[in-house]
Structure 1
Amino acid sequence: MKQSPASTWVHQFLLLPATVFPVLLMLACWTSFTNPPPIDFFSFWTGAQLVLAGNAAQAYQSQMSGFGLLMPLAYPPPFLLLIAPFGLISFGSAFAVWSIATGGLYLAATGSPRRAALACPPAAANALVGQNGFLTTAILLIGLRQLTQHPWLVGAIFGLMVIKPQLAMLLPLALVAGGHWKALIGAAASASCLIALAFFVFGFGAYQGFADVLLRYSSLLQDGRWPWNELASSYALVRWSGAGHGVALSVHIGIASIAALIVWTAWRNDWACKVPVFAAATLLISPYLFTYDAVLLAAPLAWLTMRKPGWAMVVWCLALVPLLRNVGYPGPNAIPLAVIAALVAMILPDRDGATAGTASDPV
Structure 2
Amino acid sequence: MTNIWQGLRSGDWLTASRMRGYCLILLALSVLVFAGWIVVSDGLIDRTGQPIGTDFSNVYAAGSLTWQGRAADAYSPVLQHAAEKAVFDGREVPLYGWHYPPFFLAIAFLVAAMPYAAGLALWLVASFAAYLAAIRAILPRRETLLAATAFPAVLVNVGHGQNGFLTAALLGGALHWLDRRPWLAGVLIGLLAYKPQFGVLIPIALLAGGRWRTIGAATLTVAALVGISFAMLGSGIWQAFADSMNFTQTVVLEQGGTGWPKIQSIFSAVRALGANVPTAYTAQGSLLALLAASLAWLWRSDAAFELKAAALALASLLATPYVLDYDFVVLAVAIAFFARHALTHGFRDFEISLLAAAWIVPLLSRSIAGISYIPLGLLVELAFYALILRRAALDRASHAPGAIRVAQA
Name the TM-score, length of structure 2 as normaliser: 0.79
- Counterpart residue number, 2:4: none
- Separation of aligned partners in 2, 1:34 and 1:119: 27
- Counterpart residue number, 1:143: 174
- Counterpart residue number, 1:343: 385
Q: CA deviation at 1:261?
A: 2.0
Give the number of aligned pairs.
356
Greater shift, 251-260 or 186-195, is seen at 251-260
The alignment partner of 1:149 has SS state of coil
- Contact 1:116 1:298 (C-alpha < 8 Å) held by counterparts: no
- Counterpart residue number, 1:314: 357
Structure 1's unaligned 5+ residue stretches are none
The alignment partner of 2:331 has SS state of helix
**Residue identity in the other structure for 1:207:** W
Q: CA deviation at 1:349?
A: 3.9
Q: CA deviation at 1:324?
A: 3.0
Q: CA deviation at 1:147?
A: 0.7
- Separation of aligned partners in 2, 1:188 and 1:32: 45
Q: CA deviation at 1:74?
A: 0.3
- Counterpart residue number, 1:180: 211
- Counterpart residue number, 1:75: 100
Greater shift, 155-164 or 87-96, is seen at 155-164
- Contact 1:152 1:183 (C-alpha < 8 Å) held by counterparts: yes
- Separation of aligned partners in 2, 1:233 and 1:185: 30
Q: CA deviation at 1:223?
A: 2.5
- Counterpart residue number, 2:321: 287
- Counterpart residue number, 2:311: 277
**Aligned pair partner of 2:274 in 237, 242, 247:** 242
- Counterpart residue number, 2:299: 267
- Contact 2:261 2:367 (C-alpha < 8 Å) held by counterparts: no
Instruction: Note if 1:123 corresponds to 2:154.
Output: yes
- Contact 2:168 2:333 (C-alpha < 8 Å) held by counterparts: no
Judging changes above 3 Å, is the alpha-carbon distance between structure 1 residues 223 and 150 closer, same or farther for their aligned structure 2 residues?
same
Instruction: Note if 1:8 corresponds to 2:15.
Output: yes
Instruction: Note if 1:92 corresponds to 2:117.
Output: yes
- Separation of aligned partners in 1, 2:331 and 2:40: 27
**Residue identity in the other structure for 2:270:** V
Q: CA deviation at 1:55?
A: 0.7
- Counterpart residue number, 1:168: 199
**Residue identity in the other structure for 1:336:** L
**Aligned pair partner of 1:254 in 282, 286, 290:** 286
- Separation of aligned partners in 1, 2:358 and 2:325: 14
Rg comparison, structure with higher value: 2
The alignment partner of 1:242 has SS state of coil
- Counterpart residue number, 2:255: 223
**Residue identity in the other structure for 1:177:** A
- Separation of aligned partners in 2, 1:163 and 1:6: 40
Q: CA deviation at 1:284?
A: 1.1
**Residue identity in the other structure for 1:300:** A
- Counterpart residue number, 2:145: 114
- Separation of aligned partners in 2, 1:289 and 1:320: 15
Instruction: Note if 1:200 corresponds to 2:213.
Output: no
The alignment partner of 2:15 has SS state of helix
- Counterpart residue number, 1:191: 222
Residue by residue, what CA displacement relative to the aligned partner does 1:315-362 show, whole Å, maximum 9, x if unpaired?
Answer: 234333235379x74644422112101112222249xx64698669x9
Q: CA deviation at 1:153?
A: 1.8
Greater shift, 177-186 or 16-25, is seen at 16-25
**Residue identity in the other structure for 1:125:** V
- Contact 2:130 2:169 (C-alpha < 8 Å) held by counterparts: yes
The alignment partner of 1:68 has SS state of coil
The alignment partner of 2:319 has SS state of coil
Residue by residue, what CA displacement relative to the aligned partner does 1:126-181 show, whole Å, maximum 9, x if unpaired?
Answer: 11111111101100110111111111122122110121111111111111111110
- Separation of aligned partners in 2, 1:299 and 1:18: 19
Instruction: Note if 1:58 corresponds to 2:83.
Output: no
**Residue identity in the other structure for 2:233:** F
**Aligned pair partner of 1:17 in 17, 21, 26:** 26
- Separation of aligned partners in 1, 2:173 and 2:40: 31
Judging changes above 3 Å, is the alpha-carbon distance between structure 1 residues 316 and 233 closer, same or farther for their aligned structure 2 residues?
same
- Separation of aligned partners in 1, 2:74 and 2:278: 32
- Separation of aligned partners in 1, 2:325 and 2:311: 18
Structure 2's unaligned 5+ residue stretches are 1-9, 86-90
